[in-house]
Amino acid sequence: MKTYIALMAAALVSAVALGQEEARSPPATPNAVNTPPPATDSPAMVAIFEKLDTNHDGKISPEEAQAEPTVSTNFASADTNHDGAVSKEEFLVAFKPRSQ
């Protein structure tokens, strides 16, 4: 009888312990933290880029960025490869519209 009670107590304790285990999230994909989200080609953002790229060389220079205060103010952080210009890809990532 003592063995039976001990086994029942162990089973109850195990069930409670298992019930308290935290829910686990699915395993992350490799490099998920280091991979930026892909740039979406928002037609409005592409139009802004093309308007600012006045010499049509496919990038915005610091001088071209002066036409838009937000782009000018954030130019250095948008120029992620530090080549002195903001490419279309850099622009779309840096100035993507906020989702609502």
- pLDDT single digits (tens) 2-61: 554 544 545 444 444 445 555 555 555 555 555 555 555 789 999 999 999 999 999 999
Dump strand ranges (E) for the chain: 59-60, 86-87
d(CA 82, CA 94): 14
| pTM summary value | 0.59
pLDDT of the residue at 68: 96
Give the three-class secondary structure for 48: helix
pLDDT of the residue at 28: 59
Q: Among candidates 62, 48, 61, which has minimal Cα distance to 92?
A: 48
pLDDT band at 71 (very low <50, low <70, confident <90, very high): very high
Kindly list the structural domains of the chain, giving each domain's residue range(s) and its CATH number in brackets, ordered by start: 43-94 (1.10.238.10)
Give the three-class secondary structure for 87: strand
